[in-house]
Amino acid sequence: MPSATQLPVRDGAPAWETVAALIDQQKPRAVAGAVRDLYAAGRRAVARALPGHLKELRARREPWERIDDYAPALRVAGAGTLAGASAVATWLNRRELNTRWSGDHEDTGLLLDVWADRDDAWLADLARRLTLRLRGPQYIGLDLALALLAETGIEPPAHDPLVVGWVASGPPRPKDPLLPFLLPRIFEADGVGRRLRDNPSWPRTLATLADRGDVARRMLLDGCVRRFLRGGTAADLRFFVRLHALLLPDDPAARERETRAHALDYVRLLPAAPGPVADLALDLLREVPGLPSPQVVEALDGVLFRAESGLVKSGLSWLEQTVQRRPGLADDCASALAQAFAHESYSVQRRAVRVALKLPTAADTAPITAAVPLLPPDLGAEAAARFGGEVARPEPHDAP
């Protein structure tokens, strides 16, 4: 009997009969060898017959058989015979060949071999089409899309699932040809933070690559800050907080330069960013000596408005130190300080009163006076003794 690579099966109906038999035998490698050697007419014959054969397989399979068992051979048959990149992408993404039980396929090497005679433009077109069809949470076809993108060297199309799938495939490698394209996108693509929030290797690896000069530290730091400014939950931003902390230089002068470069961004994060991000921003701003007065006042105003007791207490400590070192800011700081009088935590209110009592006597404390009624009666009386203002009445106890 002639083999799949001999002349009688290279054309027309004999070609399809040979390929169909190999599909039915679930032999994808043999199918690959057969379709590689087909003439154009043979490939067209196989391509025309494949959809009907798939339907036939679904109809005749035994109850214990799954169409998944035939999928590898069917995939390579279509990949090797369909003419257009669009048709190949559609075939490889057919629902019947990508069930929820199948997981990702392990046929990347086989498919690349089948496409060895395709020209660069065709492969680039296919790479783009397969990339844009990627979907989470399984990212079926990711390995093939990544391999084609690396093989062709094209710039990957903008597609968030590609970036999320890429980060899920393993830590970054300095020799990965996709690294220059996809690494900057981790700060923009939705879903990256969720995927990496509990991943310890990614931030450590990126910090190491930055130390070695394989990737630009400034690009990574800028990306983290941009991601913070976009907002999100604490869980979604956890990875970026860890990465930012690892990227900051140990040298105090270099660390100060990096912080000054983003000082206004850190200030703008304080009012509404999730707690871990606001903590990071506040700690960095407090390290910078001689921060411009408007930025200091705006930062204090933002942090003393927050609900987290720890953050507000840190802000109160910074305000106290600021006024001691720069008494001229006392008037501007008084408005920010007054906000803490309304905090729901008694310990925060008490700390705020202690800081207020240390304000210079020449300071304009009108905002403090206006906020005295927000304090509990005991703290209000203490503040009113210096600043004036109406002390809140004690709430009557319930009768026994």
Q: 320-334 pLDDT, tens per residue?
A: 999 999 999 999 999
Task: Name every residue whose Cβ is closer than 8 Å to that of residue 289 and which is 6 or more positions away in sequence.
Answer: 256
Q: Note the pLDDT tens digit of each residue in 56-69.
A: 998 887 766 678 88
Residue 103 clears pLDDT 70, i.e. is over it: no
Q: Note the pLDDT tens digit of each residue in 6-17.
A: 434 555 568 999
Task: Name every residue whose Cβ is closer than 8 Å to that of residue 371 and which is 6 or more positions away in sequence.
Answer: 338, 339, 341, 342, 389
Q: Which residues in 130-169 are b (16+ Cβ under 10 Å) and which e?
A: bbbbbeeeebbbbbbbbbbbeebebebeebebbbbbbbbe
Per-residue pLDDT, averaged over 145-163, amounts to 98
What share of residues in the chain are helix, strand, coil (percent, to 5)? 70, 0, 30
Question: Which structure tokens are listed for 38?
Answer: 């087909």
Sign of the dihedral through C-alpha 99, 102, 106, 110: negative
Q: Note the pLDDT tens digit of each residue in 223-241.
A: 999 999 999 999 999 999 9
pLDDT higher for 10 or 96? 96
Beta-carbon neighbour count of residue 207 at 10 Å?
A: 19
Q: Note the pLDDT tens digit of each residue in 232-275.
A: 999 999 999 999 999 999 999 999 999 999 999 999 999 999 99
The whole-number pLDDT of residue 61 equals 74
Residue 397 clears pLDDT 70, i.e. is over it: no
Question: Which structure tokens are listed for 250?
Answer: 């140990």
Mean pLDDT of the chain: 93
Residue 2 clears pLDDT 70, i.e. is over it: no
pLDDT more than 90, % of the chain: 86
Q: What are phi and psi of 327, to 5 degrees?
A: -55, -25
Residue 400 clears pLDDT 90, i.e. is over it: no
pTM: 0.89
Per the CB < 8 A criterion, the answer to whether 157 and 182 are in contact is no
Per-residue pLDDT, averaged over 356-362, amounts to 95
SS3 for 363? coil
Task: Name every residue whose Cβ is closer than 8 Å to that of residue 358 and which is 6 or more positions away in sequence.
Answer: 320, 323, 324
Residue 399 clears pLDDT 70, i.e. is over it: no
Per the CB < 8 A criterion, the answer to whether 376 and 387 are in contact is no
Task: Name every residue whose Cβ is closer than 8 Å to that of residue 394 and which is 6 or more positions away in sequence.
Answer: 377
Instruction: Grade residue 4 by pLDDT with cuts at 50, 70 and 90.
Output: very low
Per the CB < 8 A criterion, the answer to whether 230 and 275 are in contact is no
The whole-number pLDDT of residue 182 equals 98
Per-residue pLDDT, averaged over 153-159, amounts to 98
Q: Note the pLDDT tens digit of each residue in 301-352.
A: 999 999 999 999 999 999 999 999 999 999 999 999 999 999 999 999 999 9
Q: What are phi and psi of 85, to 5 degrees?
A: -60, -35
Question: Which structure tokens are listed for 124?
Answer: 């680039």
Task: Name every residue whose Cβ is closer than 8 Å to that of residue 168 and which is 6 or more positions away in sequence.
Answer: 139, 195
Q: Which amino acid is at 51?
A: P
Residue 222 clears pLDDT 60, i.e. is over it: yes
Instruction: Grade residue 1 by pLDDT with cuts at 50, 70 and 90.
Output: very low
Annotated domain spans of the chain: 9-157, 159-246
Beta-carbon neighbour count of residue 262 at 10 Å?
A: 22
